[in-house]
Structure 1
Amino acid sequence: MTETPRVHGNTDPRFDSVRDALAEQLASGEELGAAIAVDIDGEVVVDIWGGHRDAARTLPWERDTIVNVWSTTKEITALAVLVLVERGLVDLHAPVATYWPEFAQNGKADIEVRHIMAHTSGVSGWDQPFTVPDMYDWDSSVEHLARQAPWWEPGTASGYHAQNQGHLLGEIVRRVTGTHLKRFVADEIARPLGADLQIGAGPEDDDRIAEIIPPPPLDLDLSTISPDSPMVKTFTGPAASASAANTVEWRRADLGALNGHTNARALARTLSVISRGGTVDGVTLLSDKTIDQIFDEQARGIDLVLGVPLRWGIGFGLPEPATLPYLPDERICFWGGWGGSMTIMFPLQKMTVSYVMNKMAPGIIGSERSAAYANAIFASLGT
């Protein structure tokens, strides 16, 4: 007999509907295991989890369960770069080649750091041949990116840097600090904040990582699209593999666009740095001036890779009602991961919302589940 899913953790009574929404998704089987957190100016008003961390439903999702959050990782990598901006070590409007001279090859001398942060650099993937395991070799993969030419005129449009943004930004971090991205995040972000968050995952964490359940295949026939299009080049350079996230090799790699391992509580705490004016419990990582740069719109229109309307600030998505109508069209920034994970920052309300899961939903940006939870949270707030 199958055990009825339970939701664990705490909610402020105003947010009981969020607990109910998670319970409903778990009971329906749409959700396997998941966690949701909401931080309002340091008060954690939602910290809940439930379900299972394995497909066989033998292992419960527990308070300290962590999961691969796919492109929600990009928010952490963007935060790492903004920390360097805050320290005066990186200029968002400087050419990438200022910090990484080899990147200037093949027509990329004028690409600026902000172009990578906003997915407008023209370098949204690797030229083929290139496979998922090739991403695990840092030196080889960044040398590959340095050699290739952009796939469209930099700065003119966005094209989602789906799998390589972490390598592009991570190499800037490495050149500036002498430290690889995963170590910089551990030492300069996760440890000071006391957040259970990392790029990749160490062997000591393997027994608490939730198993990723791949989504249905993307409803996208690349054969009908020009092989020279940024969409085809990005989705085939390399061809993504959801099941790769369950391998040891993936967990040990430094993939700042893809393999953050964490939970909703830690994401909400970490990214509340943005919502709460740069300081969390006495730890200051950003100033208002640096946070303001996130909201400097860099691109708005049909994304050349994802094929839907997107609006990009620096390092984060900004509201675009045509694509995500449930997000308020106000001063918020966000991004999410393949399958539905998402973290949203509301600086005016000093609120941070985060959701993670292991059963991946169809699509790339958000899901019906993430929309349901967001709507329950907004309703609880009376917005």
Structure 2
Amino acid sequence: MDVQGTVEAGFEPVRDAFVRNFERLGERGAAVAVYRDGRKVVDLWAGTRDVAGQGQGQGQGDGGSDAAPWAVDTAQVVRSATKGVAAAVPLLLHQRGQIDLDAPVGTYWPEFKSAGKERVLVRHVLSHRAGVPVLDRPLTPAEAIDGESGARALAAQRPEWEPGTDHGYHAHTYSWLIAELVRRVTGRSVGRWIAEEIARPLGLDFWVGLPAEEAHRVGLIGPVEEPTAVGGALRLRPKRSVSEAYRDAESLTRRAFGVIEPRPDENDPAYRAAELPASGGISTARALARCYAAMIGPVDGHRLFAPATLTLARTEESAGPDRVLVVATRFGLGFMLHGPAAPLLGPGSFGHPGRGGSLGFADPESGIAMGYVTNGMRKGVTADPRAQALVRAVRSATSSPDEAI
């Protein structure tokens, strides 16, 4: 396997695990980056840019080679790993005094105060306690990306449970909840806010709403089969798996993940240009790692979260059986927290996986921030074996022998 990039001394286990992902876990094309105390210590990429090795991809116009390699600046759709970066927006608005986390959403978005949602707080949205993970009528792909239909449907939607009393993963509706809140508070779209206030100052190749001039850098994602053996990777064995729940057409799981029907084509240029902060972010591994590094400390003079905001991000707001994901999950304000459903580096870690593989997170105690992106989408929602192999390698590289697990 021809792996490109750099690894600082002591982080060689990460490179070894990255290579094994291709050799044993069916990786097609991927990248991983790690920052420690604001400084990049791992930056690796390998494989083909497109999941099937088909060159420059549909709609790109130039054909490319039969198997264009993953390049230093290749980016990919990271699905729900987008949520972690998007969650930083309301937290930064709170940090700046522009939004009250304990205010009703209707304070900023009056139309939302209907159908039993009058008591939904901003913090409920961020911690998946708002009670609106589904819509009575799924949106078409065109409606999902038009910037209006999603917010309008949520404003009219009746909650599935009393808001604030329980939690369930808002897989897609998180997009329109966050986007509309940001628009009402700032007058800017969420994609523009991220570009101007997060990506530009930090120099991130991260977009919620891909500019046309960057489209040539983005590879094609697609499904890949599970390997016959996962070689020690963590496997969850709940009483009822997410996949089993998804097969039940009436389940909250199926309805939450089926909010857009038919399923959108994530390789479609129109989808990639849309501003969907729950699932449509496009990023390099380097950008995810650098963004999380700036949440926990300075990176080249830029820091996102003040200490109080960092505490908010990783303080548990929701825990226990998830009404949508079936397994037990833990959430802070917008971030998944370390636990069985999302094993990160340690008890204080926070971040967000993307369905099928990608992952971004930070661990303030060790000063570690990591980003992983892939073009091969597995069926799992959390705890992807490739990402977990890399997390374990980072842990081994940063722990003393008696601490390593």
Q: Which TM-score tier does this pair reach, normalised by the shorter chain?
A: over 0.9
Q: 1:41 aligns with which of 22, 37, 46?
A: 37
Please name the residue that 1:238 is paired with.
260
Q: Is the counterpart of residue 145 in structure 1 residue 164 in structure 2?
A: no
Map residues 1-383 of structure 1 onto 2, 5 A cutoff.
5-28=1-24, 30-57=26-53, 58-215=67-224, 219-220=243-244, 222=246, 224=248, 227=250, 229-239=251-261, 241=263, 244-276=265-297, 279-321=298-340, 323-324=341-342, 326-382=343-399, 383=404
Preserved contact between residue 338 and residue 365 of structure 1 (Cα < 8 Å): yes
Distance 1:349 1:246, change over 3 A: same
TM-score by length of 1: 0.92
When structure 1 is superposed on structure 2, of 213-222 and 31-40 the one drifting more is 213-222
Structure 2 unaligned residues grouped into runs of 5+: 54-66, 227-241
Task: List, as ranges, runs of 4+ consecutive aligned residues in structure 1 with deviation greater than 6 Å.
Answer: none
CA distance in 2, matches of 1:198, 1:328: 26
CA distance in 2, matches of 1:364, 1:240: 19
Distance 1:7 1:178, change over 3 A: same
- Deviation at 1:216? 5.7
Preserved contact between residue 296 and residue 364 of structure 2 (Cα < 8 Å): yes
Preserved contact between residue 29 and residue 51 of structure 2 (Cα < 8 Å): no
Preserved contact between residue 35 and residue 42 of structure 2 (Cα < 8 Å): yes
- Deviation at 1:81? 1.2
**Secondary structure of the structure 2 residue equivalent to 1:44:** strand
Q: Sequence identity, in percent?
A: 38
Preserved contact between residue 342 and residue 366 of structure 1 (Cα < 8 Å): no
Distance 1:236 1:329, change over 3 A: same
- Deviation at 1:320? 1.7
CA distance in 2, matches of 1:377, 1:29: 18
Distance 1:299 1:36, change over 3 A: same
Which amino acid in the other structure matches residue 195 of structure 1? L
Distance 1:99 1:221, change over 3 A: closer
Compute the RMSD of aligned alpha carbons. Answer: 1.8
Distance 1:350 1:84, change over 3 A: same
**Secondary structure of the structure 1 residue equivalent to 2:170:** coil
- Deviation at 1:348? 1.6
Which amino acid in the other structure matches residue 365 of structure 2? L
When structure 1 is superposed on structure 2, of 124-133 and 359-368 the one drifting more is 124-133
Distance 1:280 1:125, change over 3 A: farther
CA distance in 2, matches of 1:337, 1:48: 19
CA distance in 1, matches of 2:32, 2:138: 39
CA distance in 2, matches of 1:265, 1:381: 19
- Deviation at 1:215? 4.7
**Secondary structure of the structure 2 residue equivalent to 1:13:** coil
Structure 1 unaligned residues grouped into runs of 5+: none
